[in-house]
Amino acid sequence: MEHLCIRIGDDERTGLVVLDEVNGFCTVGHGNLAPRAPDAQVERMVDETVRIAREFRSRHLPVLAFMDCHDPNKPENPYPPHCLVGSGEEELVPDLKWLEDDDGVVLVRKDCINGFVGAMRPDGSNTVVDWINANKIKRILVVGVCTDICVLDFVATMTSVRNHGISPPLEEIVVYAQGCSTYDLPLAVAKEIGAVAHPQDLAHHMGLYLTAARGAKIVDSVQFAAEIHPNGVKKV
């Protein structure tokens, strides 16, 4: 992958989308698709998401966060039960719980793989489209889990949203590789729970490849423009 970086300033219309960084995918021991032991890829994703989300909100830039949340009576095949309502798996990881108390953050609980579909309202309107239009967002920066499933589906849909003018301000979809991850499910464990094996590194890189093939820009660094605070301290 070519090494690419984006640099975000205070005055540009970039929005951050956080996909499913909930306990059921990120916190050790919290369900079938959560890490069974500390996981470097998942930990890096959460750390980078916290860093970027803090910067976005300090600059009053918009954030939208999805939270995977399923009805126990509506299985999501071919995946084992995960992020069920009331289990705690569907809650944001502790380091991101502050998003729930920030009025500048839009939260969407979704019960399907594709976040755009999960953001549909009964009247046919869509939370993602309204968020982009209301904030005049030209570029979305996407982080989250799983790279090859929910991230891929959302990004693929958003490229069509852009290409067909469904949300006219939107011009660019960026996926931050270091801010994404996926789950690891060895074959032996998969057989025990009646699921399909899922090798983490391979699936992660396949997800990145396919999002790029659909028209997204993949970057491996996110930086923020220098800012001079009233006390004269430069923030980079």
We report the CATH number of the domain holding residue 114 as 3.40.50.850
Confidence at residue 229, expressed as pLDDT on a 0 to 100 scale: 43
Number of compact structural domains in the chain = 1
- 62 falls within a domain: yes
The residue type found at 66 is F
- 230 falls within a domain: no
The residue type found at 211 is T
Look-up: residue for tokens 């929005």? 15
Q: What separation in angstroms does the CA of 166 have from each of 108, 126, 159, 160, 179?
A: 20, 11, 10, 8, 27
- 232 falls within a domain: no
Full pLDDT tens readout for the chain, 236 residues? 556 899 998 777 999 999 999 999 999 999 989 999 999 999 999 999 999 999 999 999 999 999 999 999 888 888 889 999 999 999 999 999 999 999 999 999 999 999 999 999 999 999 999 999 999 999 999 999 999 999 999 999 999 999 999 999 999 999 999 999 999 988 988 888 888 898 999 999 999 999 999 999 999 999 998 753 444 333 43
Please state the pTM of the whole predicted model.
0.92
Confidence at residue 111, expressed as pLDDT on a 0 to 100 scale: 94
- 53 falls within a domain: yes
- 195 falls within a domain: yes
- 113 falls within a domain: yes
Half-sphere exposure of 18 (CA within 13 A, CB side): 29
- 174 falls within a domain: yes
- 18 falls within a domain: yes
Provide the residue range defining the domain that includes 145: 5-224
Confidence at residue 185, expressed as pLDDT on a 0 to 100 scale: 86
How far apart CA 195 and CA 214 sit, in angstroms, is 28
